[in-house]
Chain A
Amino acid sequence: GEDVEQSLFLSVREGDSSVINCTYTDSSSTYLYWYKQEPGAGLQLLTYIFSNMDMKQDQRLTVLLNKKDKHLSLRIADTQTGDSAIYFCAESKEGGSEKLVFGKGMKLTVNP
């Protein structure tokens, strides 16, 4: 079945790197996504990775995918207080958004 698991909380100091982890169960997932939710706002797509890739870098964000272990991570370099938010991992099978299955989200707190 489809299931996406995430840790619930992470606290880091400003300037440190943050690593947010996610595991998924559906080996047929084709796209894996990271979304960010700030307080009082909707979800914002941060980045995504196609399942045939191992890594994707986008400015301060690095996504690593271990398809064998069904493990996805998001590394945020030089974490800023503005990065404080809830981060959701999501998967889809067909590259289509209607099949997105989300994790429950991980709250990142960045302390000055």
Chain B
Amino acid sequence: DSGVTQTPKHLITATGQRVTLRCSPRSGDLSVYWYQQSLDQGLQFLIQYYNGEERAKGNILERFSAQQFPDLHSELNLSSLELGDSALYFCASSAGPQRTNEKLFFGSGTQLSVL
């Protein structure tokens, strides 16, 4: 168990809908990362938050947004969903930003299916 908790584990929804994925980082970790894993694109970095502030942005669509709350949990909001958004969404956490050998701890992911 990595200590990173993601809910829900599975989510099935329809095109055009909006969903929220939730992540609780390991106790004491200040950084939260979101990744999208799909068969064709592999594992893509979406966005990182550190202590409530956006720190780095990757291949995140404008239809997607995220935030990190004062209690350090994070939510990833996906709106106007398309079939191609079906993927496994991972959250990871780490102690802080860009330290040497910064280690990421991954949650077990949320499997999103858009029908």
Contacts and interface: CB of A to CB of B under 8 A. Distances in A.
Given A48-B101, A100-B45, A105-B43, A42 B109 contact: yes
Given A42-B90, A99-B56, A105-B42, A94 B98 contact: yes
Interface residues of B, number: 28
B104 interface: yes
Contacts, number: 65
B107 interface: yes
Contacts of B94: 97
B104 A96 contact: no
Interface string B29-52: 001010000000011110010000
Contacts of B4: 42
Given A42-B90, A44-B2, A97 B108 contact: no
B104 A95 contact: no
A108 B115 CA distance: 31
Interface of B: 2, 4, 31, 33, 42-45, 48, 55-56, 58, 90, 92, 94, 97-109
